[in-house]
Amino acid sequence: MLFRCSSIGKLMTEPVSIDARLRTPEIEAIIAKKKRTDEEKAALESLKNQTLSEGAKTYIRTLAAQSILGIDFEVTSKEMEKGILVEQHAIELLNRVRGLDLVKNTERRNNEWLTGECDLFNAPARRGHDLKCSWSAATFPITVADCRDSLYEWQMRGYMALWDADEWEVNYALITTPEALTRWEPLFMHFVDHIPEHMRLTSWTIQRDAEKEARMVEKVKHARTYFAEVVEEFAATHQPISAHVLASCATEVA
């Protein structure tokens, strides 16, 4: 199975401890030490990267449930609806403020591990752009410190791997919210066209990192193994009741 760039960050959360199946007596001895050599620290870090966090396991079980039941659990929200409705306005804002001429990407790319469809890609510059349309003025980040998000970081790293890019930007745009979505919220928080355009775009740039990409691949490998284990467990514990068993139950009830 391929993991979406938009959710790869859910696999990358740090586990609290090393998977019990990887904890040999030698590893337990290293863990018990108060001082460790660089080699020992590297060994523990490698094992931690082979360990899925509880949050990652929960996410993988959700994926397995969707696959088994044939139901997509994706839900929409007012924030997501706005992002879809104003996306072209955000692209035009980015182009005007940054002097670019980018158009919406419609290509989905896959490699052995990941799948993704980025927002914008500037091929000559080997730079991608992801657009995040803030819900309101109150949720718009005004500094790079407000932009940082580990899930978004890993999403961009997935895109960099798929598009062979050197860097990727997360561009937060503040666009007027369609009135049908604002409902009872104060309109002054959503109607922002009077604010200068350069003040309604905050960008955060992420540089490509080969070591972090290798960690992504490692996590995907273990996620696939765990996914298979979950599916196997479900199959073993949800066997259909045979006609013979049903007849036996009916006899006992009678």
Q: What does the pLDDT look like over 172-219, one tens digit per residue?
A: 999 999 999 998 899 999 999 999 999 999 999 999 999 999 999 999
For residues 246 and 50, give the distance between their C-alpha atoms in angstroms, rounded to a whole number.
44
- Residue range(s) occupied by CATH 3.90.320.10 in the chain: 78-212
Q: What percent of the chain has pLDDT over 70?
A: 95
Q: What is the CATH number of domain 78-212?
A: 3.90.320.10
3-class SS string, 26-82: HHHHHHHCCCCCHHHHHHHHHHHHCCCCHHHHHHHHHHHHHHHHCCCCCCCCHHHHH
Assess contact for 170 and 121: CB atoms under 8 A: no
pTM for the full predicted model:
0.87
Assess contact for 156 and 128: CB atoms under 8 A: yes
pLDDT digits (tens, 9 = 90+) for 26-58: 888 888 888 888 888 888 888 888 899 999 999
Candidates 221, 242, 250; CA nearest to 51 is 221
